[in-house]
Structure 1
Amino acid sequence: MQSYIIHIDGDAFFASVYQALHPETKGRPVVIGRERGIATAISYEAKKCGVTRGMLISEIKKIAPQCIIASSDYRLYEIFCKKIVSIASLYSPYVERYSIDEVFIDMTNHNGINNDKIVNVGKKIKLEIERSLNITVSLGIACTKTLAKIASSSSKPSGFIFLHKKNLNEYLSSIDIQDVWGIGRQTSAKLRSMGITTANDFFNENESVLKKYFSKNILEIWHELHGKRIYDLSLGEKTTYKSIQRTQTFTPATSNRFFVRAQLLKHIEEAFSKARRLKYTVGGISIFIKTQEFSYRSVEIPLSEKLAYPFLIRHEIENAFNKIYNSSKKYRASGCTLYNLESEDKEQLGLFNENASLNKKLRSLYGLYDKNLINFGSQLFNETNREAKKFTVPQVDLRK
């Protein structure tokens, strides 16, 4: 039986939702992230103005003053997502909400389904979503989830592609290996060293070679590209996250560097702890501190690979904090946002990585932290008199 999977992906979703609710902004550059001081999402028009995700709002105002700066509203994003799911459910009972702006539909068992009919069904779904919500979506159809996701991302915005045997190699040749769902930076670097730079190179590689150098996860992706269904839809209720944020206001405002830093580190540890509970690895992090005048200072911390333990970027966090902290200012809040989240089963944590053995030790140490059995010295700070507590913690050597 021919398998048919549809993948729906909202185009610049957060910015598009804002434009849909504010029709006067249609066709104009929109940037989301005012509350964080950085661009968390941008419209295609903003991208043409030179705006990039993660750019400081203050910088955007200088280089593209015509941009409309708006705050995030996850309540509205949730409403739009539920509407997309409800429309998809009219065509099949097998619908997976993969994220707040992505949905999979399994049409395999639809009565009399064939190549011509699936194209018509896909076009109807796309048209109904766009007319109902006044946004655009890109839709991909293929025989597996991995191929359907490649299809939806190949012609944004408002794309529509049906991947099948006749056009498969053409599209796979245009996809960078790192853009294949489930292949992260470390794995793609290893593949590149083997001369595999595109999805089509990966498709044409011998299975025995891949089996020699890679884990089961990578072989599963290879099989999915060859049309063998490995990943079924998750049909039950689940909560997915595009990002995880932790922040808190402290009173009174303070310029005490140690206190502000301790609060920030606490938020980072708590955010990563939640990511681990949800079985996510983290691909990006931003931190911020807010002055008593309500101005934000924020910075992105670039990550070379997805990770689960902030210990691995402790020096980068310290350097980032030093960039935004000013001893002459008083601060009233700090926080962090984790983004580019990836399910652990889709990314090989620490593969071909000098931190691989360290990750194993950190898994044991952080297991105690996640159970509230230990705390970290960087967070132990007396909020009453704002002086560092005297404490003794077990010495753990992570170098061996």
Structure 2
Amino acid sequence: MQKERADNLYFHADGDSFFVACELSLRPELKGKPVIVGADRGIAVAMSMEAKKLGVTRGMPVFKIKKLFPEVVVLPHHFDLYEDISRKLHQILSSYFREIEVYSIDECFALAQPFEVTYHGGERKLMTAIREEIEKKLKVTYSLGLARTKALAKLASKLEKPNGLVMLLSKEDETRALTATPIDDIWGIGRRTVPRLLELRMKTAHDFTEYPVAKIARDFPGPLLVLQKELSGEQILEVESNTDPRDQKSIQSTATFRPASTDSKVVMREISENSEHACAEARELHLVSNKISFFVKTSEFKYRFDEVRLEEFTADPGAIMDAIAPKAVKLLGKKERIRSTGVILHNLIREEEVPLDLFGKQKKAIDDLVIEETADKIRKKFGHDAIKRAASLSKNAKYPPHHDSGSSFKKRNI
């Protein structure tokens, strides 16, 4: 049983020598050699670590590189390859996080919500799993950062390049990282601003956070004050989700009870509604799932999880509840107060991409969704409660057992 983390965290992934790494994913025989990308532009646009160690710098003319460093391998750009790997990274991350911001072709942010962190076994296991999946599927490396704010996550991902994994989860971690970061290496501080900060004896990011807030506000543009607060641990900058919603690999729906309830009928009713809401969103995007996880959270903020795998991909809440109900009942401890529930649809794929089986069961599962889609249209016109599954109505809750009765007020997030 995992203890919930109280606050959101911010995740950042930064590709290591990204263009070169993408090229090497197709030409592994060049790994360990000095390589640059830029033959078609006549200048070095990206360099491997080996090329950087020789002295090759960004923007150096190719003819000069060939003259000074004849051992360097010079390759042209393949932007379609870079975009494909970037897109696949976002797909991988969408199986871990709901909110993802594509910052550039080789960088992205994500909001790591408490449940997402806890579900994957905590911060360390989450980050390790992401790094291993990226390397296995993409054959490139990213440096990863996890911290209390967006700016700190960005700073963390740069600390141990390449293939770094840095988590700033305490004030002590943050202080060490800020002290190790030169003022001219901070995201958001331009070259023109650096000399002014150095004149004021701000040599590191830590010096910057310690400088009087009033003076930063008085003497510098507003964004610098926001940056100072972010680096001090105050969450201001948000993750701006901008990926294609049909590329997401998971959808979740949760409900919080006020007060917590010991009534298993109330809890199972909410799990059923979680399933309805998650499936409705999936159907709207024409996505289907074959792996479902679900949880209950106690009044002591402890999670209990379980999951099921379905034979067919679906977005039918009835089929999903039939599969998860027997296991969900077992999560409910006798007399234990439950404060929230959740259902997550994993392994989402587009309906049109579902592989069909020999006996037609998968096709029937997709065709059967027309009933739910008709109900969706009625709900859109008359409200969500116009049509509900019987299992989502308290008097028809069919899942045993019943402990103490308890009222609930739900706060649902989809």
TM bracket, shorter-chain basis:
0.5 to 0.7
Tell me by how many angstroms 1:28 deviates. Answer: 1.1
Distance in 2, matches of 1:13 and 1:101, equals 6
**Residue 108 of structure 1: CA displacement?**
2.0
Please list the CA deviations of residues 79-130 of structure 1 after superposition, one character each: whole Å capped at 9, or x if unmatched: 0000100000001111111110011111124256399702210111011001
Residue 107 of structure 2 aligns with an amino acid whose one-letter code is E
Structure 1 unaligned residues grouped into runs of 5+: 239-400
Secondary structure of 1:192's counterpart equals helix
Cα 1:49/1:112, change in 2 over 3 Å: closer
CA distance in 2, matches of 1:201, 1:153: 18
Taking every aligned residue pair, what percent have the same amino acid on both sides? 38
- Counterpart amino acid of residue 143 in structure 1: R
Amino acid at match of 1:113: T
8 A Cα contact 1:4 1:106, kept in partner: yes
Q: What aligned pairs does 1:30-109 form with structure 2 within 5 A after superposition?
A: 30-109=35-114
Residue equivalent to 2:139: 134
Deviation at 1:215?
Answer: 2.1
**1:172 shift after superposition:** 0.7
Instruction: Please list the CA deviations of residues 220-257 of structure 1 after superposition, one character each: whole Å capped at 9, or x if unmatched.
Output: 0011011111111111249xxxxxxxxxxxxxxxxxxx
CA deviation after TM superposition for structure 1 residue 30, in Å: 0.8
Q: Would the alpha carbon gap of residues 156 and 45 (structure 1) be closer, same or farther in structure 2, given more than 3 Å must change?
A: same
Q: Is the 8 A contact 1:8 1:139 kept in 2?
A: yes
2:219 corresponds to 1:219? no
Q: How much does 1:166 deviate?
A: 1.9
Q: Is the 8 A contact 1:138 1:156 kept in 2?
A: yes
Rg comparison, structure with higher value: 2
Q: 1:144 to 1:81 in 2, by over 3 A?
A: same
- Which one of the candidate residues 229, 237, 241 is aligned to 1:235? 241
Q: Displacement, 1:197?
A: 1.3
1:158-179 per-position Cα deviation (integer Å, ceiling 9, x unaligned):
1110013122111111111121
Structure 1 residue 216 displacement after superposition: 1.5
C-alpha separation between the residues in 2 aligned to 1:173 and 1:41? 28
Counterpart for residue 268 of structure 1? none
| In 1: Cα distance, 2:117 partner to 2:136 partner | 27
Contact kept in structure 1, 2:96 and 2:116, CA below 8 Å: no
- Kept in 2, the 8 Å contact 1:4–1:118? The answer is no
TM-score by length of 1: 0.57
Closer, same or farther: CA 129–205 of 1 in aligned 2, 3 Å: same
Work out which of the residue numbers 180, 195, 217 in structure 2 matches 1:189: 195
Structure 2: how far apart are the matches of 1:236 and 1:17? Answer: 23
Per-residue CA deviations over 1:171-212 (Å, capped at 9, x if unaligned) read 111111121111101122211111111100001111112112
* Number of residue pairs the alignment of both structures matches: 238
How far the C-alpha of 1:131 sits from its partner, in A, is 1.1
Structure 2 residue 176 is the aligned partner of structure 1 residue 170: yes
Which residue does the alignment assign to 1:208?
214
Structure 1 residues 194 and 155: alpha-carbon distance in aligned structure 2, compared to 1, 3 A threshold: same
Deviation, structure 1 residue 25? 0.7
| TM superposition outliers: structure 1 runs of 4+ over 6 Å | none
Contact 1:8–1:138 (8 Å) recurs in 2: yes
Q: Is the 8 A contact 2:148 2:233 kept in 1?
A: yes
Q: Specify the code of the residue in structure 2 equivalent to 1:161.
A: V
Tell me the TM-score normalised to structure 2 length: 0.56
Local SS of the residue matching 1:106: strand
CA contact (8 A) 1:150 1:181 kept: yes
Give the corresponding residue for 1:123: 128
**Structure 1 segment 188-337 matched on structure 2, within 5 A:** 188-237=194-243
CA distance in 2, matches of 1:100, 1:115: 26
Q: 1:150 aligns with which of 155, 168, 191?
A: 155
Q: Which has the higher contact order (CA 8 A, sep 6+)?
A: 2
| Structure 1 pair 111–79 and aligned structure 2 pair: CA distance change class (3 A) | closer
Please tell me the root mean square deviation across aligned C-alpha atoms, in Å: 1.7
CA deviation vs aligned residue, 1:9-32 (integer Å, no higher than 9, x gap): 110000011111111111111110
